[in-house]
Amino acid sequence: MIGLVFAGGGTGGHLYPGLAVAEAVRTREPDAKIRFLCSDRPLDAELLRAEGVEFDVLPAGPFSLRPRKLMKCLSGWGPSVRVTRGLLRGLKAECERVELVAVGGFVAAPAAQAARVERVPVTLLNLDAVPGKANRLIARRAHRIVSTAPTVQGWERIPPIVRASARPPGDARTCRERLGLDPDAPVLLVTGGSQGARSINELMTAFVRVHGDALRGWQVIHQTGKGGDSGAARACADAGVRTLVHEFFDVPGLIWGAGELAVSRAGAGSVADAWTAGTPTLFMPYPYHRDEHQRRNAEPLVEAGLAVLADDLIDPARNLGSAGATLLGLLGDADRRGSMRSAAAALGPPDGAERLAVLVAG
């Protein structure tokens, strides 16, 4: 019997890939013992509890030069290592083989250190085109490194990692019907990822107020993020555009599958969703990352022809004149959207979860 510990957290973007791999492992090894290690952010516990998986919370904190955050990072390292060592020892007593899968983020680093001390192999799963500090640290001694994005030479590349529930359950009409929308009317999906994006919300509000006629005959699905601006919903209502608005949709396969076109951040999870559904997408990468890793995340889809990139200029008026102009063109060009959707076939199947399950479960 195999024991697997998935270490990561802080955002859904770190946890969902781990859940997808765990799901694929269970398909191969129904008796596998699987445990998650996550951060103390409430989102992690909520997400993992909803998925019905066993987990432990680590008091780890991200590295920062700010005194308070640096203190949390330093004070949380030792306890996080000790909790992980205890968990690994217990699994080693029960299982023939134990492995730790680091899925990224600050939780993964002390967990990987504990695995090294306990002589447990570490598999690093890298999700972004520019590896973060924790992943670069873990990579130095990882037993195996795989990446869903083109990155460091020598790291094994795999396709995106997607849960079965995150795959569209049918064609666009089916997805729209299941969401209570008109199955025959095209859908514009607007999302800033699991935590939302204020600048994209504000762009959508400005766009509908100025170009509401361009959305005549369309429907809008808008994931705003927690506490997201509802201005776009009001603007759509004023323009007579049918809109489905939630802070967060836990059915990514449905909303991406329903989409004729999407406007989205370019986190690894969003890129994987666009790839999986084959939805033509206007990506607006997070503008505050110095390494611009979201832009690089999206580049394979842009190169394939499924997506286009636009800078997030933060200010709604400036975004309306740049990304908004691109969106206006895409809304009015069905032939281009059709060509973009056809280009998705060149990307291949998003079967990274199954591939990684084979590597870690044998």
User: Which domains, ranges and CATH numbers included, belong to the chain?
Assistant: 2-157 (3.40.50.2000), 166-347 (3.40.50.2000)
Which runs of E-coded beta strand occur in the chain? 2-7, 33-38, 55-57, 97-102, 122-126, 144-147, 156-157, 187-191, 219-223, 242-246, 261-264, 281-283, 307-309
How is residue 229 written in tokens? 């601006």
61 has a pLDDT exceeding 80: no
pLDDT the model gives residue 222: 95
The answer to whether 248 and 227 have CB atoms below 8 angstroms apart is no
pLDDT category at 76 given cuts 50, 70, 90 is: confident
Q: How confident is the model at residue 351 (pLDDT cuts 50, 70, 90)?
A: very high
- Can you give the pLDDT at residue 98? 97
pLDDT at 96: 94
Q: How confident is the model at residue 202 (pLDDT cuts 50, 70, 90)?
A: very high
pLDDT at site 85: 97
Mean pLDDT computed over 71-79: 81
Q: What six digits make up the tokens of 221? A: 């699905």
Instruction: Give residue 8's pLDDT.
Output: 92
Reduce the secondary structure of 190-223 to three states and give it as a string. Answer: EECCCCCCHHHHHHHHHHHHHHHHHHCCCEEEEE
Query: Does pLDDT of 230 surpass 80?
Result: no
What is the reported pTM? 0.87
Nearest-CA neighbor of 168 among 259, 302, 271?
259
pLDDT band, residue 153 (cuts 50/70/90) = confident
Specify the amino acid at residue 215: L
Mean pLDDT, all residues of the chain = 92
Q: Report whether pLDDT(12) > 80.
A: no
Number of residues written out for the chain: 362
Q: Is the pLDDT of residue 298 over 80?
A: yes
Could you report the per-residue pLDDT of 95-111, keeping only the tens digit for each?
999 999 999 888 999 99
Q: Is 70 exceeded by the pLDDT of residue 70?
A: no
**Following CA atoms 232, 237, 238, 241 in sequence, which dihedral angle do they give, to the nearest 10 degrees?**
90
The answer on pLDDT for 242 being more than 80 is yes
**Residue 153 CB burial class (10 angstroms; 0-12, 13-18, ≥19):** exposed
3-state secondary structure of 98: strand
Model confidence at 209: pLDDT above 90: yes
Q: Give the least confident one: 68-82, 87-101, 191-205, 241-255.
A: 68-82
